[in-house]
A and B are shown apart, each in its own frame.
Chain A
Amino acid sequence: MDSALLVHRIHFAFTITFHYLFPQLTMGLAPLIVALKTLALRRNDESYNQAARFWARIFGISFVMGVVTGIPMEFQFGTNWSHFSRFAGGVIGQTLAMEGVFAFFLESAFLGLFLYGEKRLGPRGHWWAAFAVFLGSWISGFFIIVTDAWMQHPVGYTTAPNGSAQLSSFWALLLNPWAWWQYAHNMSGAVITGAFVMASVGAFYLLWGRFEDYARKFVQVGVVAALLATLLQIFPTGDGQGRMVALHQPVTLAAMEALFQTQPGAPIVLIGQPNVQEHKIDNPIEVPKALSFLTYRRWKAEVKGLDAFAQDQWPTNIELLYFSYHIMVGLGTIFIAIAVVAAFLLWRGKLFTSRWMLWILLLALPFPYIANTAGWMTAELGRQPWLVYSLMRTADGYSKTVSAGNGIFTLLGFMGMYTVLGILFLFLVRREIERGPEAAVETAH
């Protein structure tokens, strides 16, 4: 591989992966904060408001990190992927500009009011500020997903005489079926992160024996949200997303499953290492015929393997794609098990005293982040070798004028800066958790 291409790919992969650690928490926490504030109004219980204030502080720290690491994403389309931008800007410029105009203004205007304006706004006004921040962050996510969905499954465009893609149908772009499945799947993934983080902090307090009134609220809201979101994550959103891939990117599906041979009644590999050289799976543990059923709803349906496609159409890193996909699905299944058991204990009134379950909730904290990251790696590695599926190869999209040396220079700079940001984030969040919900007051600049 051309070294400049590799540098630009790692540049984007690194910055986007780090960036998405923060929006998944803010997008996931936002509806939970609205839920806490709704409970405060409904039950006329100030402690829910105090709980919301505590989460607003953590939300605020995560939001700042998301904003500052998000700015480079939009810029990099131009700086590092200029040939792609020249080709695709006439289509995805729409959604990126709409994100700015419809989401960023809303978010930034109401975030200030949400974090610093509770006294000025009063309880109802502040509920609306929280709701506006929630709406803004979810609209932002929507336009990004529509952008990515167009790269996965281009619709609503024509090719101009100069070779660039130009919008031909605005509604086809926004109503891209791929986008809606991907959006639903992505957002329930974000809620899983938010819900598990909330439940985990609550479990931590209960095990520690501090702030127990608040802790029970956190665990309760977190577990209920986790139950809903983990179930939605598999069905219908994960299933729908998977069938989009089967329909529009069959070679990607084969690579995700490491299905080398086309076969009727294809199995699903639960565990095993793909051996791309010898076109087989090492040490497989399989469920027979399951892949055929999940893909086509028939046990004996034929599923195309990698052998049905020319090798230059194969995703470029089948091993990593396979593992990303399997980690995502495996963790998603474990999340359902945790959420179902925890919800059952909550229903029976035993959760807050079941220390083993609280330990599981506490230790579950990092895994939704891993699952969400693995999910995005599945989507983006699965699209390879294409940058825009079947229209532009990744190797043709990067900035040819920006040398590998300049790319590595800025990549190292981002790595250094993001290390500092990560440390600051952990330091500040740890401090908030240690001080607890009772200390949480409005942040003042």
Chain B
Amino acid sequence: METIWFIIVAFMISAYVVLDGFDLGAGVIYLMAARTAGERQVIMRAIGPVWDGNEVWLLAAGGTLYFAFPLLYASSFSGFYLPLIVVLWLLMLRGIAIELRAHMDNPVWRGFFDVVFFGSSALLTIFFGAALGNVVRGVPLGPDQYFFEPLWTNFRVGVNNGILDWYTVLTGLIALVTLTIHGALYIATKTEGDLNARARLIAMRLWPLELALTVAGLIATASIRPGVLENYKHHAVGFVIPVVVFGSLAVMMHAMIKRSVRIAFLASAVYIIGMLVGAAFGLYPVVLPASTDAARSLTIYNAAAGAHGLSVGLIWWALGMILALGYFFFVYHMFRGKVRLEGEGY
């Protein structure tokens, strides 16, 4: 039962990263790719009707995490207090920027929110990457299974880490580059002309960096936490994951050369899922490793809610997901196709 909920939470987080990832990435390339007011409008319209729904996956994943693993929620949210509150502020600024920007057709107003949108999107990708890095690397859990991390200490990976050290900065960079490419490819699927060309160019130029960072990330992870390799050693099926990761990178490049951006975008989604599943597979059944004493690590067993709650939850969760997926297909269907400015807007 705990394993099922581990998979469900991992699924919801992956759905969040793949979906909100593309509108975060669209925010990162926003100022670079869109040069004119019209082009910026196009990017906003490409994500406008869907970004909020995408972000809801984060809230739903958070709620589900709280429900299934209350101790993990309590320990990690209070321990990552400062970065999480900063993430909240960034999410708020970004939501405000996207929605309020449209309300006034004034270059100063829009120019301000353009920069807020870019800045909050870029910082969020880095924070999310660093957060994942923290979970993989481990945190200084005390005997009561709580901890508190400052934002940074000495940038070394050790027992008393800060949120930021060289490893989590690296994972933050991986997230930034990955989601920038993901967003650029999404924008390419939704646009035509110069904007489309610039978005593709950004994705092409960043691809070698993504490849290099992926390799660096794998080596770094294996060296600071050799434990993640245990699951792979015992269950050889796990080696499918790196094959998928590098395979999707290859497909992405191939598709970009052939200018089939839709396939490149899907390959990017597969790459993201592969990276996240790889991390989850390496961690399982641990959900928050202790850098202090492995016995204090939070696992799906010691962090889970009671059995009755978990089994009841399975019923409503399945029902709710069917409904949610229905809404999503409907909304994406309604707003399908390329964004054009003239004629009917959304």
Contact = CB atoms under 8 A, between A and B. Distances in A.
B88 interface: yes
B230 to A, nearest CB: 27
A64 B94 CA distance: 11
A112 B96 contact: no
A67 B309 contact: no
Given A113-B49, A116-B49, A445-B48, A64 B99 contact: yes
A31 to B, nearest CB: 21
A97 B60 contact: yes
Interface stretch (B78-86, B168-176, B196-204, B281-289): B78-86
Chain A interface mostly helix, strand, loop or mixed? Answer: helix
A124 interface: no
A101 B49 contact: no
Contact of A410 (B85, B306, B320): B85
A72 interface: yes
B330 interface: yes
Interface stretch (B184-192, B213-221, B234-242, B321-329): B321-329
Contacts of A112: 48-50, 52-53, 331, 335, 346
Interface stretch (A83-91, A288-296, A320-328): A83-91
Interface in A175-222: none
Contact of B102 (A79, A85, A409, A444): A444
A105 B324 contact: yes
B91 to A, nearest CB: 6
Contacts of B327: 105-106, 109-110
Interface string B71-93: 10111111111101100110111
Interface stretch (B61-69, B159-167, B243-251, B261-269): B61-69
Interface stretch (A32-40, A255-263, A397-405): A397-405
B340 to A, nearest CB: 12
B317 A101 contact: yes
Which residue of B92, B102, B147, B317 has the most chain A CB atoms within 10 A of its CB atom?
B92
A403 to B, nearest CB: 8
Interface in A63-108: 64, 67-69, 71-72, 74-75, 77-80, 82-83, 85-86, 88-91, 93-94, 96-102, 104-106, 108
Highest count of chain B CB atoms <10 Å: which of A93, A403, A413: A93
Contacts of A91: 309
Nearest to A143: B63
A160 interface: yes
Nearest to B327: A109
Contacts of B344: 119-120
Chain B contact residues: helix, strand, loop or mixed: helix
Which among B66, B101, B321 has the highest number of chain A CB atoms within 10 Å? B66
Interface in B4-63: 41, 44-45, 47-50, 52-53, 55-56, 59-63
Given A74-B59, A116-B346, A401-B146, A97 B64 contact: yes
B52 A89 contact: no
B67 A417 contact: no
A111 B44 contact: no
A75 B62 contact: yes
A285 interface: no
A106 B323 contact: yes
A91 B78 CA distance: 19
Contact of B323 (A93, A96, A105, A117): A105
A93 B73 CA distance: 10
B70 interface: yes
A94 B313 contact: yes
Interface in B89-115: 89, 91-93, 95-96, 98-104
Contacts of A96: 63, 66-67
B345 interface: yes
A317 interface: no
B91 A82 contact: no
Interface of A: 60-61, 64, 67-69, 71-72, 74-75, 77-80, 82-83, 85-86, 88-91, 93-94, 96-102, 104-106, 108-113, 116-117, 119-121, 158, 160, 164, 166-168, 170, 399-403, 406, 409-410, 413, 417, 421, 424, 428, 431, 442-445
The 3 A-B pairs with the shortest beta carbon distances in the complex, nearest first, are: A89-B70, A78-B77, A166-B306
Given A94-B67, A116-B49, 15 more contacts: A68-B92, A74-B59, A78-B66, A82-B74, A88-B70, A90-B305, A94-B309, A98-B316, A109-B53, A117-B335, A421-B92, A428-B103, A444-B45, A444-B48, A445-B44
